[in-house]
Amino acid sequence: MAVHTPADYLELARAENDSSVLHRLARCPYPFVWQALAANPYTAPDTLLELSTAQDSAWNNNRLLRLLAEHPRADYTVLRAVRDAVAAKLAEGERPYAAVLALAGRRELATEEVRQLGALRGASARLRSRLDRHLGLRT
């Protein structure tokens, strides 16, 4: 498939199952392609890890972090990188709350690793309450 337009990149990111092609797509400049890669079940952990440092707008960053936290192939290394990125966003005053709650559902991370996110400056009382509830469901 020839890639000429942003729509071509997006279609390839959604439909491709070759991990080397998906990894190359992670370097394109379009946040909607990064999100499509993070939603593609064939995206390999090394590509997910690379995406954990991608930056665009607050909304796009937070959505990408949530998708990475939910990805079925995200291993401990990826989830830890996402957790660290989420912690940085919270400390900056952003609200990546959906990513925090997605991380709470991942048993690869220790409960305390995720619970610490609720103590950061950007965490609201409502987030802390929902985080406690989600972590409580682990047992």
Residues 84-120: tens digit of each pLDDT: 999 999 999 999 999 999 999 999 999 999 999 999 9
Query: What six digits make up the tokens of 68?
Result: 């990475």
What's the sign of the alpha-carbon dihedral 112, 71, 47, 97?
negative
> Around Cβ 127, how many Cβ atoms within 10 Å?
19
Could you tell me how far CA 31 lies from the centroid of its own chain?
12
Give the confidence band of 64 by pLDDT, cuts at 50, 70, 90.
very high
Angle between helix 58-70 and 76-91 (nearest 10): 150
Residue found under tokens 């946040």: 31
DSSP SS3 for 33: helix
**Taking residues 26-36, what's their average pLDDT?**
96
